[in-house]
Each structure stands twice: as structure tokens, then as C-alpha cells.
Amino acid sequence: MANKRDLKKDINYVLGDIIEAVYIWEYANTDKDTKQSEAIIDDAIATFDELIEKVNAKNVENKKAHFTSVKQELENKGRALIERINKLG
């Protein structure tokens, strides 16, 4: 079972890397519109806030199942954000 600290680190690293990838794309494509890339960053930040709030929830009966579901949600949302980065023109 992942502990709370490790799960928070995973959330930070995954979403931080996604934001960094968007910045790299913006730097490499200075001639393109950044509205879509900025939306990806905003969504990554919102996802971070949402997942950290879920990790810090106190009223959880089964912590192992709760952390597993948060980790799965991180994976799913991270993949969706990466797909959006790959679709940037």
C-alpha cells in the first residue's frame, strides 16, 4: 500500500512533469496560439488540488482502497492530459 506521503509525491511529480511538458511545447512553438496549452496547465492544477484534497480526506473508512482509487484517478487524468498535449498543433 502506498502511504500518504508517497501518494502526494506521485501526484506532484506526475502533474509537475505534465506542466513542464506544456511549457516545453510552448517554448518550441512560439508561433502558435497558447490558449489550448494554457487550458491544459489550468486543468493540471485543478486536478492537483482535487487529488490532494482527496488524499487529505479524514473521513475515509478503508484507507487502502481510498488511496488506490486516488492513484488510479491520477493515472487516468494524467493520461488524458498527456493525450491533450500530444494533440497540440
| pLDDT digits 0-9 by tens, 38-74 | 999 999 999 999 999 999 999 989 999 999 999 999 9
Q: pTM for the whole thing?
A: 0.91
Whether the Cβ atoms of residue 11 and residue 51 lie closer than 8 Å to each other: yes
Residue among 73, 64, 86, 76 nearest 1 (CA): 64
Specify the pLDDT at position 89. 73
